[in-house]
Amino acid sequence: MIARRALLAAVPALLAAPGLRAQTVAMRLDDQVAPGWRRGVLIRWGDRVTFDAPPFDPARPSAAAAAAQFGWDARILAAIPTPAPDGVPRALLAVGHPRVEARLAFPGGRDMPEVAGAMQGASLLNIEKRGGAWLVVDGGYQNRRLTAATLCRLGSDGGPATGILGVTGGCATPWGSLLLAEGAAAAWRARLPGIEPGTAGLVAELDPSDPVSVPVKRPALGRFGAVDAAAALAADGRAVVWLSDGRPGGHLYRFVSDEAAGARALDAGRMWAARIEAGSLRWLPLPEGDPLAAARDAGASRLDEPSGLAFEPRQGRLCVALRGGAGQVLEIRAAAGDAAAETGVAEVLVQGREAVAPPSRDGAVPALPAWPWAPAALSFDGDGALLLATDRGQRPGPLPEMLFRVPVEGADRGRPAFVLAAPVGAAMGGAALVPDGALLAAVAHPGNTPGATWEAPATRWPTLRPEEPPRSTVVTLAR
């Protein structure tokens, strides 16, 4: 990978820098917040989303209740500012719910597929700042759950398709829509009877401002289970969507619409795949058909688990998280700042580092320097700094998953600053900026270590009460 050896050699020196030396974390039952930040709770698994949601009763799960409550897993997709004529900061928050682990979600660990299908999907939430804290608006007009039972369309003029499945990523678009990437749909097709294979594993698009908007699945963006998406406008006004496929040796894709961005722009266009060589980027046009095979045949670069994507429009910067191994983040800039340009430059912004715990005679868990390992979800804050969330999956290690803030300009460019560490067994499910400058961050599936069960999770975060299960939670972070 580009400049990989040089960056790996530089990591120890970076960790020794005065601003980073004190940033150490340890695996623990609770979360850990960096000095200078304060953390609150916005919403947890089982909390009310729609106006008719019953109280959370995890010992007696039902599909009807789950379809009205916040889902089991959590991946922040977007926080879209909304009009505030009264001066109250407001936003529409979109959160994906990719997975449901039966051994942790259900008493006794026995799977309940219909209930699980209602616990996954996505949540749309009206949020606002009241009394100095961000809150979910109870009974908010746009509050909505999308589940395995949600009616969709296959293309703007296509027939019906049922189910939003395994949403691992997505984004808000400059033309006013929300994209949902069904990156974990394959597992749900095997788990839920009656799902049409040709209607799952796509990118779905909907109008988040309209609570009755029917999601439209976009076959033109491929049927390969993209794990994330980012969107921009080309210089000539066409829609551009970048997609990552998440596989070891996977590819980075781009879709450019035939028409100007709008409600039907993603119905037709062309797919491209990236080739990166010695810091240069070239987009290779792909023929119609299977984009995975077409990218391989065209000679597109094989990347190590390309995962999270984020586009910063002010500087025209696309960042791509590569989750495999120690991981890294690539920064891509298009020629002439045009998102549809066929060439550009690519360089490593952040190089991941695997942590090795020193031997401990007393069994104590050591605190180790905080540094990204397996970057998985990306976004940007109001200053244009990268927000980087990690997720190693089931790969063991002595560090918790973490959220970092990474400057992309100036002397500290590429130097991650630790913000939040998740409790044991949890992943960091991304972050988003809200209108007052605070951040929202998702702490996904706490307690989910190998062998953990409903009766014996690795932690019971966020309450740590013995009678409550661990719960995925969206937290607020303010300086």
pLDDT digits (tens, 9 = 90+) for 127-145: 999 999 999 999 999 999 9
| Residues sharing a CB contact under 8 Å with residue 288, sequence separation 6 or more, in sequence order | none
What mean pLDDT value characterizes the chain?
A: 94
Q: What is the pLDDT of residue 18?
A: 39
E strand segments, 49-198: 75-81, 90-97, 121-130, 133-136, 144-146, 151-154, 160-162, 169-172, 178-181
Residue 11 has pLDDT above 90, yes or no: no
Instruction: Give residue 123's pLDDT band: very low, low, confident or very high (50, 70, 90).
Output: very high
Q: How confident is the model at residue 363 (pLDDT cuts 50, 70, 90)?
A: low
Average pLDDT over residues 208-219: 97
**pLDDT > 70? residue 14:** no
Determine contact, residues 309/318, Cβ cutoff 8 Å: yes
**Contact yes or no for 11/353 (Cβ under 8 A):** yes
pLDDT > 70 fraction of the chain, expressed in percent and rounded: 95
Higher pLDDT, 329 or 365: 329
Q: Distance between CA atoms of 250 and 380, rounded to whole angstroms?
A: 24
Q: Report how far residue 16's alpha carbon sits from residue 33's, in angstroms, rounded to the nearest whole number.
A: 21
pTM of the model: 0.95
Question: What residues contact residue 408 under an 8 Å CB cut-off, 6+ apart?
Answer: 312, 315, 317, 331, 349, 384, 385, 386, 414
- Provide the pLDDT for residue 447: 98
From 10-19, 213-222, 273-282, 429-438, the region with the lowest mean pLDDT: 10-19
Fold entry, domain 4-478 = Neuraminidase (2.120.10)
Output phi, psi for 114, to 5 deg: -65, -40
* CA-derived radius of gyration, the chain: 21
Could you tell me the two tokens for 248?
A: 């070891």
Across 321-348, average pLDDT: 98
User: b/e string for 349-377 if b means 16 or more Cβ within 10 A?
Assistant: bbbbbeeeeeeeeeeeeebbbbbbbbbbb
Q: Cα angle at 287 between 285 and 289, to 5 degrees?
A: 135
